[in-house]
Amino acid sequence: MSEVSAQHVKDLREKTGAGFMDCKAALRESGGDFEGAVRYLRERGLAAAAKKAGRATAEGVIGSYIHAGGKIGVLIEVNCETDFVARTDDFQQFVRGLAMQVAAARPLYVSRDEIPAAELDREREIYAAQAAQSGKPAQVVAKMVEGKVDKYVAEICLLDQDYVKEAGKPVRQVVADAIAKLGENISVRRFMRFQLGEGIDQAQGDDGAPKP
């Protein structure tokens, strides 16, 4: 395989946390086979995140972030392996960055696995109806639909969003970088975003009574 696509390299980096050149070399050595490339990196100890993915994460912190004069607040639970790492400044700053991400980008889920199947099916049906109007062959339409579904996922899932503090880098890669730096497995368990007045009928007071 002479050439390796940038997208394949990016996908492999997101999955393993390995460096750009290592991922490129792995894809070339595996003839473009993605799982073969992951195996290649693991065998050489280069897949930092994948190597630690099976370790239990029973420690960690619940981080918080308040923005816009107290009008937006976030709580997020991020787990690691030991209390020692959880108390380090590097881990604390990492968690704060994720909380800021939730405040700014408004994700609905941590990862794609959390999205209800019915929700993805509904989006897929909408995109299929739109794509069908293009008059393109069925195979092309199918790729267009899946591309739009992937884009939708990247908008609503924290790990698939672009990191607000570093354009072009997905949050998943930020987590992988933290795993490589801190030497422990790290997982984002859950988050909650609050926005002042969200869900309140502006025509009524906080107690449900109409405003005078």
Question: For residue 83, what pLDDT band results from cuts at 50, 70 and 90?
Answer: very high
Alpha carbon 2 to its chain's center: 31
* CATH H superfamily, domain 59-112+157-195: Elongation factor Ts, dimerisation domain (3.30.479.20)
Write the pLDDT tens digit of every residue in 101-141: 999 999 999 999 999 999 999 999 999 888 888 777 878 88
Evaluate if residue 210 carries a pLDDT over 50. no
Instruction: Tell me which residue of 124, 178, 172, 179 sits closest to 151, measured CA to CA.
Output: 124
Alpha carbon 183 to its chain's center: 20
Which pLDDT score, from 0 to 100, does residue 1 have? 44
Write the pLDDT tens digit of every residue in 161-177: 999 998 888 998 899 88
Which pLDDT score, from 0 to 100, does residue 46 have? 58
Write the pLDDT tens digit of every residue in 20-47: 777 888 898 888 888 888 888 777 655 5
Percent of the chain with pLDDT over 90: 45
Which pLDDT score, from 0 to 100, does residue 53 have? 62
Which pLDDT score, from 0 to 100, does residue 157 have? 96
Neighbours of 40 (CB within 10 A): 23
- Read off the pLDDT of each residue in 61-82 and give the average, rounded to a whole number: 94
Which pLDDT score, from 0 to 100, does residue 202 have? 59
Q: Where are the domains of the chain?
A: 6-52, 59-112+157-195, 116-155
Question: For residue 212, what pLDDT band results from cuts at 50, 70 and 90?
Answer: very low
> What DSSP line would sit under 146-158, residue for residue?
HHHHHHHHHHHBG
Which pLDDT score, from 0 to 100, does residue 204 have? 53
- Read off the pLDDT of each residue in 141-162 and give the average, rounded to a whole number: 91
Evaluate if residue 75 carries a pLDDT over 60. yes
CA 4, CA 33: separation in Å to the nearest integer? 11
Integer CA distances (angstroms), 150 to 7, 40, 124, 143, in order:
14, 27, 10, 10
Least confident of 89-98, 173-182, 199-208: 199-208
Can you say whether the dihedral through the CA atoms of 101, 103, 104, 106 is positive or negative? positive
Q: Which class is 116-155 in CATH?
A: mainly alpha
CATH topology of domain 6-52: Helicase, Ruva Protein; domain 3 (1.10.8)
Which pLDDT score, from 0 to 100, does residue 146 have? 87
CB 160 within 8 A of CB 111: yes
Which pLDDT score, from 0 to 100, does residue 45 have? 57
pTM equals 0.69
> Chain-wide mean pLDDT for the chain?
85
